Structure 1
């Protein structure tokens, strides 16, 4: 498979064989590959009964790197091993040279705590399936990370997956599951969902369950189950949000949760798709896309919506007065994402509160620092 899968496969092998370095940078915004790495680490080093003692999700927007390293340096009395997922890495590369911060990082990794694993999440980078096509700004940021952290941490590229690799993944996973997934069906699934691996993995799982004892998925199965109601429900939700229709948006949200096999446990997946859709609207608004003929030039491969949604999404984007309103929405979604990952007692309540915030008119003149977070999801 391609670069993204190859990099994560190497990391998964290191996790399985317990050959880990004391720190890693997970570089890129491909959330499917990130979750693959995260879950492998949790399965290997975070027993369910000790999760509260040995797993920490931190954000450099809220805590300093000095506090993160101090916690990593201090062994836990309750757990034999600690794992730290550290978001907000972008903050280390803005507003000044951060000499003291990088000196502290170097000092820690010269003599790291062998009972701690630190994973920095650089999800402000977008790494395309062909890294040679990386945006110059992203390339500069990525080179800076490798120059400052590459000597101490393993760097895992979470590059976008192209349709060919998505097709190979569907075939390989089907073989492992003992299911015959027709090649035309696999191609249709990869093409229809734009090589979006989070969506593909979710729909693949439903198709395999639907196949049941017949152990076969056909093109007709894909056309019947994937290309219709599920995606349209999401765009109906964003349509209600863009019209600030709270009652309708809540009704559609509950419909999505009830229709999901995982119930409220599918909340992170829904939140991911909501963030993706608002990011698409942000690009549409900033590039002044007016019709579906030009939308494919504005949105890159792997970041496109299904054809049936193009006109709807353009119309929804134009309901917002400025890109600032959409970046405010993205910041609200980012906050909800952090809350969901902290294992709240009621995930559905987190999403309901998010819908209330998204459909509420922003207060005039209110301070909004969302711009710096908008594209980090």
Structure 2
């Protein structure tokens, strides 16, 4: 995120590079940087003659180079943006010759999503020397809640740990989807609001009581009544609560619990650091560790592996998802 801020700051201050090669698994920042260049390098009057958007599926690398070599008309720069450039992956190395000697009055932006170029080859070396190579890496699930807080803070909003976790659980690590939902909340809620689970439930439609986060907590507390109530809700709403996601989240939880048992220092700060979790959730692990000794945790992890296979339809004999979940829960709690 700091690298993105620096890039945007340089562009604002007209410290422009002739090529911006934006690549990587996370499209959110690629789109953000590309859109910023598209909307800010040229004035509205200059864009008509000097800004062009191409699509990888419709052009060749030679077409891109040909357009990039043009001179701007009545402006200091022209901007050429290539979207979905990953469609040119088979021939992208042909861009190396241009990258080695780029047109300095052109700002060429390559959006190379979900892939990376080979850092050992000529193109990467030329880009690093003459332009900008930005790699947008996918965030791990345990990093997304912190990202949500950092996105909201400059805009005058806060969010509770549980509300952030609900978004991560429901939307995964797709930053674009999460940002879309955050923008909706910012339209509805006044500044200085701390976004709560109730706000998430009322405005996004994620239940604050019937979700994997609450199921994990109930299982950790060995609260069978609450856990079965949530499982029954999942059984009635299978499309919104796929079993494969539930099993995956429980597997991660019990794997972390296994790690917790092996820690010498079980102070909250040490646990949060070792397990890479928000300190707010440390007490859940302490409670769960009391209820599940290491031997039991190992058995649960093995059970979850078995049910992970079943959740994907192997050896499940067309058993309904709800029944499989109840069987899994019984195995964990007993």
TM class by shorter chain equals 0.5 to 0.7
1:65-91 per-position Cα deviation (integer Å, ceiling 9, x unaligned): 333223222223254421111246456
Q: How is 1:1-377 mapped onto 2 (pairs within 5 angstroms)?
A: 5-87=1-83, 89-90=85-86, 94=90, 101-102=94-95, 104-106=97-99, 109-110=100-101, 112-125=102-115, 141=118, 143-144=120-121, 145-147=123-125, 149-212=127-190, 215-228=193-206, 292=244, 296=248
Shift of 1:196: 1.4
Residues in 2 aligned to 1:122 and 1:90: alpha-carbon distance in whole angstroms: 5
Residues in 2 aligned to 1:181 and 1:30: alpha-carbon distance in whole angstroms: 23
Q: Relative to structure 1, is the Cα distance of residues 29 and 188 closer, same or farther in structure 2, using a 3 angstrom cutoff? A: same
Residues in 1 aligned to 2:156 and 2:84: alpha-carbon distance in whole angstroms: 40
Unaligned runs of 5+ in 2: 208-242, 250-307, 314-334
RMSD (CA atoms): 3.7
Residues in 1 aligned to 2:179 and 2:53: alpha-carbon distance in whole angstroms: 24
Unaligned runs of 5+ in 1: 126-137, 230-290, 298-309, 316-377
Q: Is the CA contact 2:24–2:136 (under 8 Å) kept in the aligned structure 1?
A: yes
Q: Is the CA contact 1:26–1:121 (under 8 Å) kept in the aligned structure 2?
A: yes
TM-score by length of 2: 0.54
How many residue pairs were aligned? 219
Q: Is the CA contact 2:34–2:111 (under 8 Å) kept in the aligned structure 1?
A: no
Q: Relative to structure 1, is the Cα distance of residues 146 and 294 closer, same or farther in structure 2, using a 3 angstrom cutoff? A: farther
SS in structure 2 of the partner of residue 151 of structure 1: helix
Q: Relative to structure 1, is the Cα distance of residues 87 and 143 closer, same or farther in structure 2, using a 3 angstrom cutoff? A: farther
Q: Relative to structure 1, is the Cα distance of residues 24 and 17 closer, same or farther in structure 2, using a 3 angstrom cutoff? A: same
Q: Is the CA contact 2:18–2:106 (under 8 Å) kept in the aligned structure 1?
A: yes
Shift of 1:42: 2.3
Shift of 1:227: 4.1
Q: Is the CA contact 1:180–1:216 (under 8 Å) kept in the aligned structure 2?
A: yes
Q: Is the CA contact 1:56–1:83 (under 8 Å) kept in the aligned structure 2?
A: yes
SS in structure 2 of the partner of residue 212 of structure 1: coil
